Amino acid sequence: MTSHDHELVLTRLIDAPRAKLFRCWTEPELMKQWFVPSPWTLARAEIDLRPGGSSLVVMRDPEGNEYPNPGIYLEVVKDEKLVFTDAYVSAWQPSEKPFMTAIVTFEDEAGKTRYTARALHWTAEDRKTHEEMGFHEGWGKCADQLAALAAKI
């Protein structure tokens, strides 16, 4: 097993300070404005921003179907890094089918922020499924929406 068998990565240089990008990732009202690729929406976002804290994001497709995504924060470093997983749903209760752990980093670079989102999957099959679901297109569109929002706040 090699890491690229299980990992998908998106990186962008965004013209916004790290603190603004971190806010967009951690404040529910801001998350609702960028977190899913349009025309999808974020119906709900609940965040307990601390290691071991739970999160719940509920994505809504254009037909109104909702897709809840519970998870747990593993690491939180203000304005620098977020690590979260769907392997647990709350209070360290294991999920029925873990899919991935995400590592999101924000690094200063040339007066902008190097934004990197890594999705680490439990299996190579899960990675392939995520890629086929449109990881690069969807997460890329979300990164564009994130950059646009960060420029306004």
- Digit-by-digit pLDDT tens for the chain (153 residues) are 456 799 999 999 999 999 999 999 999 999 999 999 999 999 999 999 999 999 999 999 999 999 999 999 999 999 999 999 999 988 788 999 999 999 999 999 999 999 999 999 999 999 999 999 999 999 999 999 999 999 999
CB atoms within 10 A of CB 52: 13
> Alpha helix (H) ranges present in 27-81?
28-31
DSSP letter at 4 equals: G
The span from the CA of 129 to the CA of 152, in Å, is 34
The span from the CA of 26 to the CA of 105, in Å, is 13
Dihedral angle of Cα 13, 56, 45, 104, to the nearest 10 degrees? -10
Cβ atoms 147, 32 nearer than 8 A? no
Give the start-to-end residue ranges of the domains of the chain: 3-18+28-152
The span from the CA of 153 to the CA of 151, in Å, is 6
Tell me the CATH number of domain 3-18+28-152, given options 3.30.530.20, 3.20.20.140, 3.40.50.300, 1.10.3720.10. 3.30.530.20
